Amino acid sequence: MGLASKRSAGWPLLGVVCGLGALGLLSACQQGPSAEEQRAQRIAALTQRLKQLATEAERLEDVSAIKRLQRAYGYYLEAAQWDQIADLFSDDGSIEIGQDGVYVGKERVRAYLYALGGGKVGLKKGQLNEHLQLQPVVDVAPDGHTARGRWRTLILAGQYHQQALWGEGPYENEYVKDNGVWKIHKVHWYQTFLVPYAGGWAKNRDVNGGIYVSKRLPPDQPPTERYPTWPGVYIPPFHYKNPVTGPQGAAP
């Protein structure tokens, strides 16, 4: 075989070698991230998960703090400790009870509460003023600075040997975190009924139509909603969506 023949015979072998080299490069490209890159990806994923868990834990702590705040409100309300209640509000907080209208600002909240108590702190001898706050639903905003809560209140009120009343209605409240401390931003209580204990709601109409002190202490704003009290029927809008039926009937 001549030199030319030997050279031509070597070309296929060289092609095989080059092809194998190309396949090796392609295989290296298809192997994916290096071990170091994979480790960095795992660390990034774990870091993101830890941030999510920290946020969830903070939201749970927020909900617990808001529930304690509302329980404090109820405790002081039952004991007619008006200054203690007012101090639970933010400086621009407001209160709206029944159809009395809206009282804006901490000092106006304080004035309204004192008007409810006849200008005095504390219960009279023989006075009952129980406000059982039930069925809380609290939702904290994604930014963790504001929240809304719904509560149902059952009321047992009256004066020994004089009168006894049943009452019921939901709260739709708003809260704000002020320098890391949750405070009440808005209290809005809807009066479903307030009726004499004797005969209850089966034989009695609502005793005051949701009007308590606004005739002698005018509000800063009119009621945000007009609605009938017992025997009228009104379901206040919910701040949250129904988890079963979706957004129908939910407040915007």
Question: What gap in Å lies between CA 101 and CA 226, rounded to an integer?
Answer: 10
* H or E element that contains 181: strand 181-189
CB 191 within 8 A of CB 206: yes
Q: 3-state SS of the chain: helix, strand, coil percent to 5?
A: 35, 30, 35
Q: Is 96 left (phi over 0), alpha (psi -120 to 50) or beta?
A: beta
pLDDT per position as a tens digit, 225-249: 999 999 999 999 999 988 888 655 4
pLDDT per position as a tens digit, 24-56: 544 545 577 888 888 888 888 888 888 887 778
Whether residue 184 is predicted with pLDDT greater than 70 in this model: the reply is yes
Whether residue 76 is predicted with pLDDT greater than 80 in this model: the reply is yes
Whether residue 216 is predicted with pLDDT greater than 90 in this model: the reply is yes
| Maximum pairwise Cα distance, the chain | 132
Whether residue 193 is predicted with pLDDT greater than 70 in this model: the reply is yes
Residue burial 126-148, b: 16+ Cβ < 10 Å; e: rest? eeebebebeebebebeeeeeebb
For residue 40, the model assigns a pLDDT of 83
- pTM here is 0.80
For residue 97, the model assigns a pLDDT of 98
Whether residue 3 is predicted with pLDDT greater than 50 in this model: the reply is no
Identity of the amino acid at 66: I
Whether residue 9 is predicted with pLDDT greater than 50 in this model: the reply is no
In sequence order, the 6+-apart residues with CB closer than 8 A to the CB of 208 are 98, 194
